[in-house]
Amino acid sequence: MSVDVAQAPPSLLVCERSSFVEQNNRVGSHVEQLHFNYKVSLLLPECSSAPSHLDSVLKGFSSFYLIRKLPIYELLNKDFLETAVYHGSVYGLSYKTRVDEDTCVALMPNGRLCLSLDKYSFQLLGFEGTRSRFRPKDRHIVSVDLTNNSMAPGGRGYLRLLTGLMSRLPLSMDFLLSHHPGGGASLQPLLSRYDWSEHRPEMINQVLPHLSCPSDPKSCDAQSFLEWLGAVDADIGSENSSSSFLSSFVCPELKTVLSRALRVSICGLLLPPDVHRLIQEVRRYLEQTRLETWASLTVHGFADSPVSWRDNEHGHLRGGENFYTLLMFQDHAYHLYLATGAHDTCPP
């Protein structure tokens, strides 16, 4: 089978350079707008172990819950709405569903419920929606604000959606759920009715000896830096010859060799408030270290989440990419790279 590479739609990359001391810097806004994150990767040059204050934040990411075969109409339960959703910061995402083939559901911290449905399921549900931007012929998006007066329990819109999910389209699926800062207390009534398990994000530390890296990341080309950083995160060597068939990744010129670097990865349902707290602690680390150094933080969104930034529809296409990399320096300057695949709107 031949593939016309020239016809392949391009991915999207937005670059922003500013300083944390600028009042109008948008780092916090970008962090909050990518709701569903499954992996955070941190790289600290010339470091073999994280200082205690940074280590405590890395280990302090919020726990999350996996509920087996949760009926989606339970997300409209009056008590759940009043104790959790209306107070904000509930994060919920269908687990192991494929956004290009299956029904996918997301409950966002702003109280918005999003269902990505195939055409047949959409017709069964009988609720207002819009055609998918990326697959308009066979996919529809239903997005409702559960905090809006029109969706108040007992109202016409509420009853119509509830009836659809209970009788016409009784969806049931494994579901990831977390609440910040309330934790499990506000979710307990819902959890108690189903089979559930609590999980902590998984953290892995690795010291990388003799790592080739760009000698001046601040002036490095964005695409080249991200390719190098991705190779480091994936344990792909970048010291390759031109005849190598295994990897064509190379370290950008000009380059230097670090005696060591610390790579930390955290995986799970990772909440934006925890990511924001980690960014603040990395800045504190950079201020306290005696070396003239930098740090990078990459946050990966779930490939099969039905939404990406700003509640916009997320499509999969090939890899489902939606991530950002924050490159931080000692002088409070930062480079922010936001990237998605071709089946996404441009990052904010």
Query: What was the pLDDT predicted at 7?
Result: 52
Q: Is 212 exposed, middle or buried (0-12, 13-18, 19+ CB in 10 A)?
A: middle
Per-residue pLDDT of the chain (348 residues; tens, 9 = 90+): 344 444 555 678 889 999 999 988 999 999 999 999 999 999 999 999 999 999 999 999 999 999 999 999 999 999 999 999 998 789 999 999 999 889 999 999 999 999 999 999 999 999 999 999 888 888 999 999 999 998 999 999 999 999 999 999 999 999 999 998 766 788 999 999 999 999 999 999 999 998 888 888 888 888 888 988 988 888 776 565 555 555 555 655 557 888 999 999 999 999 999 999 999 999 999 999 877 889 999 999 999 999 988 888 988 877 778 899 999 999 999 999 998 887 787 777
Quote the CA–CA distance of 125 and 53 in Å, as a whole number.
Answer: 49
Rounded to whole angstroms, the maximal C-alpha distance in the chain is 68
Query: What was the pLDDT predicted at 340?
Result: 87
User: Whole-prediction pTM value?
Assistant: 0.91
Query: What was the pLDDT predicted at 11?
Result: 73
**Calculated CA dihedral for residues 148, 153, 155, 158, nearest 10 degrees:** 70
Query: What SS3 state is found at 256?
Result: strand
Query: DSSP letter at 307?
Result: B
Query: What was the pLDDT predicted at 243?
Result: 53
Quote the CA–CA distance of 152 and 78 in Å, as a whole number.
Answer: 9
Query: What was the pLDDT predicted at 237?
Result: 67
* pLDDT per position as a tens digit, 107-128: 999 999 999 999 999 999 999 9
**Angle at the Cα of 92 from the Cα atoms of 86 and 95, rounded to 5 degrees:** 165
